[in-house]
Amino acid sequence: MAKRTVNVALIGYQFMGKAHSNAWRQAPRFFDLEWEPHLKVLCGRNREALEVAARKYGFEEIETDWTAVVERPDVDLVDVSAPGHLHAPISIAAAKAGKIVWCEKPLANTLNEAEAMVATVREAGVFHALFHNYRFCPAIQLAKRMIQEGALGDLRHFRAVYLQDWMSDPSTPMVWRLKKQYAGSGAHGDLNSHLIDLARFLVGEITEVSGVMKTFVRERPIAEGSQETDTVDVDDATAFLALFESGAMGTFEATRFALGRKNHNRIEINGSKGSIVFNLERMNELEYYDGSDPSDRTGFRLIQVTEPVHPFVSAWWPPGHIIGYEHTFVNLVADGLQRMAEGRNPSPNFEDGLACQRVLDAVERSAERKSWVSVQ
């Protein structure tokens, strides 16, 4: 089968740039792909740092002006890993230039931006993808399959928390993620977006929400040890109640103030026939309760999702040999490339990003009004 090479331009070289470049590099090493990515150009503003990053990540070229990159004829795919406020302008420009666009989540900082982005990719008729990588934990894929097969029956409860603690200390200095103009929101957009995406993937659409947003520390030093401070204008923590189209009820909570919790993205789903529990910090495991087990030996099973029969696992290692955080990106990239090779759009994509944004937005409105709000 003839392979096709996909030239990738990656905008952004920090945390997400590192994770995405690894994914583009590793996908063809572990999966049999018809479309093979080539790390063509890495784009950022600081030339010096960019050169170091490009060499380390294995990119062929660098570029400091993203407007130039999205127009380059030798670029097939633009990967948008820049801060949130740049998602919309870069994605829109790239789509208008006819490029495949893959964007880091959350799709945008505002609902307006997200709507414009979706309108543009639809109009341009380009493939688009969204890096909601946690869908690609084998354990989440297994959960999805089990739910689709009916192993959980009718779903009644979705219960999710995403707990971190990196802002818990008031002396931790200001970063762009704490300013609304760059990040849109705080823990809400950053972390609840993950939970909402998993909820939509596993349980379906959310119709109504009631939320609360809290900022525990309003002023932070502008730098380590500085006396000068800047104002935090996003949420440190956001929790909300939700109702699903399916009749299930949901609870969501995202915070950067749960001292001791590092990356505790935990979801539990209870259905009429079974239940599951997932925790990202132990992402190779899925707990599963089968209500049809003999009554004297029921219990949550600790499934090690490392068997060849499990989704995406056969590309990796033998049973009990775990994979890590970055593998979710590799799996996502391999899956999206394969879909495109088959003429299908990747999933999740901008439509999912928009749907997620609608929920994020409804929560913000509900917190302001102090009442329940419908999603759209």
List binders of its own copies among 255-274 (CB under 8 A): 255, 257-264, 268, 270-274
Tell me whether residue 116 or residue 217 sits nearer to its own copies (CB atom). Answer: 217
Site for its own copies in 94-133 (CB under 8 A): none
Phi-psi region of 343 (alpha: psi -120 to 50; beta: other; left: phi over 0): left
Amino acid symbol at 238: T
Site for its own copies in 307-366 (CB under 8 A): 307, 309-310, 316-327
Tell me whether residue 227 or residue 295 sits nearer to its own copies (CB atom). Answer: 295
Tell me whether residue 93 or residue 254 sits nearer to its own copies (CB atom). Answer: 254
Site for its own copies in 233-252 (CB under 8 A): 237, 239-241, 243, 247, 249, 251
The two structure tokens encoding residue 299: 């219990």
Which H or E element spans position 118? helix 111-124
Tell me whether residue 72 or residue 264 sits nearer to its own copies (CB atom). Answer: 264
Q: Are 83 and 89 in contact (CB under 8 A)?
A: no
Among 61, 115, 290, 351, binds its own copies (CB under 8 A): 290
Binding-site residue total for its own copies (CB under 8 A)? Answer: 98
Q: In the bound complex, what is the minimum distance in angstroms from residue 350's beta carbon to its own copies?
A: 25
The rounded distance, in Å, linking the Cα atoms of 8 and 21 is: 9
Tell me whether residue 74 or residue 166 sits nearer to its own copies (CB atom). Answer: 166
Q: In the bound complex, what is the minimum distance in angstroms from residue 277's beta carbon to its own copies?
A: 9
Q: In the bound complex, what is the minimum distance in angstroms from residue 59's beta carbon to its own copies?
A: 11
Tell me whether residue 105 or residue 310 sits nearer to its own copies (CB atom). Answer: 310
Q: Are 197 and 129 in contact (CB under 8 A)?
A: no
Tell me whether residue 123 or residue 293 sits nearer to its own copies (CB atom). Answer: 293
The rounded distance, in Å, linking the Cα atoms of 119 and 183 is: 22
The rounded distance, in Å, linking the Cα atoms of 268 and 279 is: 9
| Strands 285-290 and 128-130, bridge-based pairing | unpaired
Tell me whether residue 114 or residue 195 sits nearer to its own copies (CB atom). Answer: 195
The CA radius of gyration of the chain, in Å to the nearest whole number, is: 21
Q: In the bound complex, what is the minimum distance in angstroms from residue 171's beta carbon to its own copies?
A: 11
Question: 279: helix, coil or strand?
Answer: strand
Q: In the bound complex, what is the minimum distance in angstroms from residue 311's beta carbon to its own copies?
A: 9
The rounded distance, in Å, linking the Cα atoms of 211 and 272 is: 27
Which of these, 72, 76, 70, lies nearest to 90 by C-alpha position? 70
Q: In the bound complex, what is the minimum distance in angstroms from residue 186's beta carbon to its own copies?
A: 14
Tell me whether residue 236 or residue 335 sits nearer to its own copies (CB atom). Answer: 236
Q: In the bound complex, what is the minimum distance in angstroms from residue 326's beta carbon to its own copies?
A: 7
CA dihedral defined by 266, 278, 304, 320, rounded to 10 degrees? -30
Question: 288: helix, coil or strand?
Answer: strand
Per rule CB under 8 A, is residue 51 in the interface with its own copies? no
* H-type alpha helices, 306-347: 327-341
Q: In the bound complex, what is the minimum distance in angstroms from residue 272's beta carbon to its own copies?
A: 7
The rounded distance, in Å, linking the Cα atoms of 301 and 127 is: 39
Tell me whether residue 53 or residue 88 sits nearer to its own copies (CB atom). Answer: 53
Q: In the bound complex, what is the minimum distance in angstroms from residue 71's beta carbon to its own copies?
A: 29
Which H or E element spans position 251? strand 249-255
Question: 207: helix, coil or strand?
Answer: strand
Site for its own copies in 169-208 (CB under 8 A): 169-170
Which of these, 223, 187, 256, 209, lies nearest to 372 by C-alpha position? 209
Among 1, 29, 227, 343, binds its own copies (CB under 8 A): 29
Among 60, 65, 205, 293, binds its own copies (CB under 8 A): 293
Per rule CB under 8 A, is residue 166 in the interface with its own copies? yes
Among 48, 224, 296, 342, binds its own copies (CB under 8 A): 296
Per rule CB under 8 A, is residue 281 in the interface with its own copies? yes
The two structure tokens encoding residue 63: 């570029």
